[in-house]
Structure 1
């Protein structure tokens, strides 16, 4: 989409963005999904399985001609006479707007290009402005001071979440009326640090890269820590005593320890537990983790109860994984579930929204 915007601007042609800003019931995609439409009717990305797009293109072309945004609801229930007959049983609220060449929009596009953590607050009523809020600075303003204060507070709450989600929130303007404001989110890629470059780390790294993770593979063995073995990942040749100085592990970095060496895993785990990583996984049976904990206690650095709870051991979901590829799938499924706040239960029989972690079943 970003490339499409660059090309359209270079050619002096308009483009429009169609964004899902609300979902009722079941739908193909969730809030924050975008689709870019060009003047000739071609488009990049999709909001559905292909049924919504022709109608959205038609509306977007009108938006490009008029220069005014349009908010419209598409009913996906096949039983509704004038619905689209998709059969999902829900509805999507779509906001279609021209992509303007102005400071706030350009700052948002820059954040998306760079993979910055940021929020774009857009009131879904015309004439109220737009607000960009990043970790270090903001841009733009809303026409109503009370609305802007609430939008800023909400945006900062979103920035603090481990996996922020785009959503529309009802805020109250200074005159007392309720205004829907859509909070879109720009997220940097999730980071995964794999300690250990053994053979089983290869499919794990490969799958993580395919899922969009920014992957680092760390090992002290030069015969294993080879970039050619881990396409798309950054490979670091480091000893444990150099981790603290050379590695940056933040609150959005997921850590997996799989050196297949008890002493190296012990040193690595001690380092990982000093970081704010939200996920620290240790490959191997629970008995192995207990041996490592005993070793740290003998060295005079016993793990605290909180640190013991932080370590995921055994690592992964119980799906009967045996091969390295299956183990990789099990591990990354657990990482994704924790990252997004889901209990990782079966979906079978669930009648609520499958994308609502509060409704997902626990098994």
Structure 2
């Protein structure tokens, strides 16, 4: 799930608990073949039948709500298999050609494992939740240090901790169900801090990009020396930094940041590019044609700045997918689409004619800037 969906779930859960309502989380824990969402997708169901977020395109929700209401009543978690194929005897007849497994569990904020997991979700902290899909036990796993809860036997717990912490170190961790050496299926749910987008430039075309990123759950930062441009009215929900180019060393991009240079001012863009490439951020985008980005690099190198191959390999220019975008809102869509594809390891190509699972990850291939000047050029 993205950060925006998690935010919506937690807001609804907090309000429900304040009202004294009971609730359950329904989570996709397995996908076979084609399905609308992937493992780790969550839906909140309240004891009055209300739901927040969706597990599918609308074909599963009514059935899952019925299961969740029973789980809320009894307190007993359950895993249900839903066949989405056209000729399914179960009766959905959706025609997706796949099936999903959904685990439903009542929310108990007093349970130490649940409390730790909810705290991580609310704080945007990296953590994992391990749940055997057969048998009992649950375990909250932080990136380091002691776990909360436990699994039995000890070998199963050790396996789950190892898998969870390996996933938490990846660029874009996703939930997964894995099979332990003893044959036990274990669902590993993961939570990570929201992705970060830093905009160098607060011009008109930054507005839809910041707004769209915020709607997708990004933590948005905007840097510009023009204080009049940096207002909450222009950039709702964003963190604003009134910094001149010579003051950029006062700003350290957060971890997992994606940096976008769009000042429309050559001197500021040159300084910002230097700052961005030296920051260690894995993604540095430059708005505008390739020749502009190459010119900025050439001027920096001519001025004595050196870049390593790794630093140059982080540069994306021109930024965005080739969608024919022209208006600022269209350009923002193009950039956000590339960011999603890049983060998740896809190439952003058409799905038409693709015969496999549309969610199967591809090899993540960064596209270094062609003909970027080396330090000794």
Distance 1:200 1:5 in 2: 36
Change (3 A) 1:42 1:205: closer
Distance 1:226 1:38 in 2: 38
Contact residue 263 and residue 269 of structure 2 kept, 8 A: yes
Residue 54 (structure 2) pairs with residue 59 (structure 1)? no
Contact residue 79 and residue 104 of structure 2 kept, 8 A: yes
Distance 1:359 1:313 in 2: 20
Indicate the larger mover: 39-48 or 27-36.
Answer: 39-48
Change (3 A) 1:227 1:126: same
Structure 2 residue runs of 5 or longer lacking an equivalent are: 1-8, 365-377
Indicate the larger mover: 303-312 or 140-149.
Answer: 303-312
Contact residue 296 and residue 303 of structure 1 kept, 8 A: no
The within-5 A match list for 1:123-272 is 123-127=132-136, 129-137=137-145, 138-172=147-181, 177-245=182-250, 247-272=251-276
- How far residue 346 of structure 1 moved from its aligned partner, in angstroms, is 0.7
- How far residue 13 of structure 1 moved from its aligned partner, in angstroms, is 4.7
Relative contact order, CA 8 A, sep 6+: which one is greater?
Answer: 2
Cα RMSD of the aligned pairs, angstroms, is 2.0
**Matched residue SS, 2:313:** helix
**Matched residue SS, 2:204:** coil
* TM-score, length of structure 2 as denominator length: 0.88
Change (3 A) 1:6 1:203: closer
Structure 1 residue runs of 5 or longer lacking an equivalent are: none
Distance 1:171 1:280 in 2: 39
**Matched residue SS, 1:236:** strand
Residue 130 (structure 2) pairs with residue 121 (structure 1)? yes
Distance 2:205 2:62 in 1: 45
Which residue of the partner structure matches residue 45 of structure 2?
Answer: 37
Distance 1:338 1:54 in 2: 34
Distance 1:310 1:39 in 2: 48
Which residue of the partner structure matches residue 314 of structure 2?
Answer: 310
* TM-score, length of structure 1 as denominator length: 0.91
Distance 2:204 2:75 in 1: 55
The within-5 A match list for 1:322-333 is 322-333=326-337
Cα displacement string for residues 281-306 of structure 1 (whole angstroms, at most 9, x for unaligned residues):
01122211222112111221132333
Change (3 A) 1:325 1:145: same
Which residue of the partner structure matches residue 26 of structure 2?
Answer: 18
Change (3 A) 1:124 1:206: same
Change (3 A) 1:313 1:2: closer
Change (3 A) 1:277 1:13: same
Aligned length: 354
**Matched residue SS, 1:296:** helix
Which residue of the partner structure matches residue 297 of structure 2?
Answer: 293
Contact residue 250 and residue 276 of structure 1 kept, 8 A: no
- How far residue 216 of structure 1 moved from its aligned partner, in angstroms, is 0.8
Change (3 A) 1:348 1:17: same
- How far residue 354 of structure 1 moved from its aligned partner, in angstroms, is 0.9
Distance 2:252 2:56 in 1: 38
Change (3 A) 1:57 1:328: closer
- How far residue 252 of structure 1 moved from its aligned partner, in angstroms, is 0.8
Contact residue 280 and residue 312 of structure 1 kept, 8 A: yes
Distance 1:153 1:20 in 2: 22
Cα displacement string for residues 139-193 of structure 1 (whole angstroms, at most 9, x for unaligned residues):
2221221111111111111111111111111112xxxx21111111122221100
Residue 291 (structure 2) pairs with residue 282 (structure 1)? no
**Matched residue SS, 2:44:** strand
Indicate the larger mover: 50-59 or 208-217.
Answer: 50-59
Contact residue 47 and residue 72 of structure 2 kept, 8 A: yes
Change (3 A) 1:6 1:314: closer
Which residue of the partner structure matches residue 375 of structure 2?
Answer: none
Change (3 A) 1:220 1:72: same
**Matched residue SS, 2:227:** coil
